[in-house]
Chain A
Amino acid sequence: MEFVYFLIRRALWSVVVLIGLSMTIFVIARVLPGDPARMALGPRASQQQVNQLKAKMGLNLPLVEQYERFAVGAAHGDLGLSLLSQRPVNDDIAATFAATLELVLVTIVFAFAVGVPLGVLAAANKDSWIDNLVRLGTIFGAVTPSFLLALMLQVLAGYVLHALPTTGRTSPDSAAVADITGLLLVDTLMKGNFAGFVDAFKHILLPMIALSAATTGQIARITRASVIDVARQDYIEAARAFGIPSFVRVFKYTLRPAFVPPLTILGLEFASLIGNAFVVELVFSWPGMASYGVRAILQKDLNAVMGVVMISGLFFVIANFLIDVAVGFVDPRVRISGQRA
């Protein structure tokens, strides 16, 4: 029961975080120099046209009133119109968000599927050459900027080896469309379009590796430290004295408690993952939110900036909420006491 309260508390806090985020970004976007309406219409538009646009978008209202209009709209799921295109921001984000979501989700799965076993391997062979190799690799992964890795992968795998496609989400001749969940890998499989799935998988591979390097390294490092820490605990020695065989000690008694720190760190990694995804998307011409978001920021397209930030923020808090639930399932201490250990 405490766990349910804990989750409700976390959910309420998430709402507070989102409101705080929206206020901060709202104010920052508006106090920065540059007239958004003028930027949208270009230097040759008359002052009258600029004023008209301002009036239409409510940009001449007091700041508090502007925020109120935004908040009421956002609460109803309406993020307003883009200054530039005069199209609803909702539509633009809906068209691009799924691609970003797919890239980030695949990256997380990959980072976990590779990072955790690497960490366990390193811990099991502590101080051997395997451990040193893993540690060296994870440090390289953590310090290499994702745009550099993205460019290197593109040159190496695309232009030198001609092994994998380097731009976009599908081949030009692919008829695959993501119209069920928006996630191409899932949708092609659901429709039984195996060729389309392979094509989409090939396209996502390089951006995924570029994006996952830092997170994979982080998860491997945390897992290694966590496994080593748990393996030293009294209850592992006790299990040995009670005659529990070593594979059960490692895969059950050690791994389950050791799984909590990497899971927790994943929640923190989300923020940098979303940020890095923008860079990686630009390099690989991935049709996600990145180009839309970058253009919106450079052009001071206020509603579009808010839309991109709020969607990213929402994604972040939902992901962290799900991680809280997962931690509760792995660790009864969290479930029973309703507190993070």
Chain B
Amino acid sequence: MSEEALLSVRALSLDFVSDGARAQLLRDVSLDVPARRHVALVGESGCGKSVTMRAIMGLLASPPARVLGGEIRFDGVDLLKLPARERARLRGTAMSMVFQDPTSSLNPVFTIGDQMRTILKYADARLGRARNRQQRQARVAEVLAQVRMADPERIGRAYPLQLSGGMRQRILIAMALLSEPRLLIADEPGTALDVTTQAQILKLLKDLVEARGLALLMITHNLGVVRESSDHVFVMYAGAVVEQGPTQALFASPRHPYTRALMACTPKLSGGAAMRGIDGALPDYSAPPSGCRFAPRCPLATPACAQTPPHTLISAGHSAACWRLEATE
């Protein structure tokens, strides 16, 4: 799969170092996002999803972030080896991002139109596209219409606080799509909104991404969203990918104890057994357990789990990093 993947993260390890304190955040994270596919990265809050996403986008400040090893290949080029300037050229044009919180991700003191035209102006400059103000204005209106905003002219003149949360989230999507990127990274879009609006936003995002043939990396803790809208799933726990596979296969037979626990946490409409949580908490990143980081919370843990488990192939494209796979068959 790595041959054709548009984005391919290989064995990425990353620490945060500040004032002598070291947080061991990512360990050997590998994930692939093939062109035109929808990939989901799942895990609980604090598991390293957002750090992974920021590492891919090149948004982490260094210090404190320090990459220990690994590759982030985009279109065959290792982004970690690119000079900062070259990397900045890709942001907003080749790869873009939909932010999670629509209230805080838009600048409150400029109009929507102003902010979108500014994004387009600098994207044009990087791509060597010549467009005057009217043409940019037209493009902004076009993209606003694509995210199903009625009256793009009026929206362009509005300030963020004059719009609802759902509208602002659509605008964030429109901003990400302005320059037709090939990879879209979506950070839990709509989580800050009510359920109905979130469902609309996700549907819209899915439609737009499919219509354009974009690759989508969706970061979420919502398994329902994953199941509905992704082709492939990566499950993260405490800075490591613990299980990954095609959505169908992974949901049909989850093998890592963490994936299973996560699925048991999801409430089912059919009722039945009471919802279970996972005992314990995420490890302290400054002194994580050696070996499998889930071991302290794992009901199946044995002394062998003090060694880091390798990814074991379960079926085509489906693998899990666990010593006790025989116990979850």
Q: Chain B, 175-194, contact with A by CB distance < 8 Å: what is the 0/1 string?
A: 11011000000000000000
Given A244-B118, A244-B122, A336-B161, does the pair A239, B108 have CB atoms closer than 8 Å? no
Contact B176–A242 (Cβ < 8 Å): yes
Contact B101–A242 (Cβ < 8 Å): no
B214 to chain A, nearest CB (A): 16
A162 located at the interface, meaning its Cβ lies under 8 Å from any Cβ of chain B in the complex: no
Which one of A117-125, A185-193, A326-334 is at the B interface? A326-334
B297 located at the interface, meaning its Cβ lies under 8 Å from any Cβ of chain A in the complex: no
Contacting residues of chain A (21-51) with chain B, CB-CB under 8 angstroms: none
Across the interface, name the chain A residue whose C-beta is closest to B175: A242
Chain B residues with Cβ below 8 Å from A238 are 97, 99, 105-106, 172, 175
Contact A244–B161 (Cβ < 8 Å): no
Given A235-B104, A336-B159, A336-B161, does the pair A243, B109 have CB atoms closer than 8 Å? no
Interface range, B side? 20 to 34
B126 located at the interface, meaning its Cβ lies under 8 Å from any Cβ of chain A in the complex: yes
Across the interface, name the chain B residue whose C-beta is closest to A337: B161
Contact B119–A243 (Cβ < 8 Å): yes
B156 to chain A, nearest CB (A): 14
Given A238-B99, A241-B99, A245-B122, does the pair A257, B108 have CB atoms closer than 8 Å? yes
Q: Which of A234, A241, A248, A252 has the most CB of B within 10 A?
A: A241
Q: Chain B, 107-130, contact with A by CB distance < 8 Å: what is the 0/1 string?
A: 111110000001100110010000
B57 to chain A, nearest CB (A): 6
A69 located at the interface, meaning its Cβ lies under 8 Å from any Cβ of chain B in the complex: no
A256 located at the interface, meaning its Cβ lies under 8 Å from any Cβ of chain B in the complex: yes
Identify which of B59, B91, B161 contacts A333 (C-beta below 8 A).
B161
A309 to chain B, nearest CB (A): 38
B162 located at the interface, meaning its Cβ lies under 8 Å from any Cβ of chain A in the complex: yes
A91 located at the interface, meaning its Cβ lies under 8 Å from any Cβ of chain B in the complex: no
Across the interface, name the chain A residue whose C-beta is closest to B106: A235
Chain B residues with Cβ below 8 Å from A244 are 92, 118-119, 122
Alpha-carbon gap, A233 to B99, bound state (A): 13
A297 to chain B, nearest CB (A): 45
Contact A242–B106 (Cβ < 8 Å): no
A253 located at the interface, meaning its Cβ lies under 8 Å from any Cβ of chain B in the complex: yes
Alpha-carbon gap, A234 to B107, bound state (A): 9
B93 located at the interface, meaning its Cβ lies under 8 Å from any Cβ of chain A in the complex: yes
Identify which of B89, B92, B101, B111 contacts A241 (C-beta below 8 A).
B92
Across the interface, name the chain A residue whose C-beta is closest to B91: A243
Across the interface, name the chain B residue whose C-beta is closest to A257: B109
Contact A233–B176 (Cβ < 8 Å): no
Chain B residues with Cβ below 8 Å from A340 are none
Contact A234–B161 (Cβ < 8 Å): no
Chain B residues with Cβ below 8 Å from A243 are 88-89, 91-93, 96, 119, 122-123, 126, 179
A240 located at the interface, meaning its Cβ lies under 8 Å from any Cβ of chain B in the complex: yes
A229 located at the interface, meaning its Cβ lies under 8 Å from any Cβ of chain B in the complex: no
Residues of A within 8 A of B (CB): 233-235, 237-245, 248, 252-253, 256-257, 330-333, 336-337
Listed from nearest, the 3 A-B pairs whose CB atoms lie closest are A243-B92, A234-B104, A242-B92
Query: Can you show 7 pairs from A to B with CB atoms below 8 A apart?
Result: A238-B99, A241-B99, A242-B96, A243-B119, A332-B161, A333-B108, A333-B161
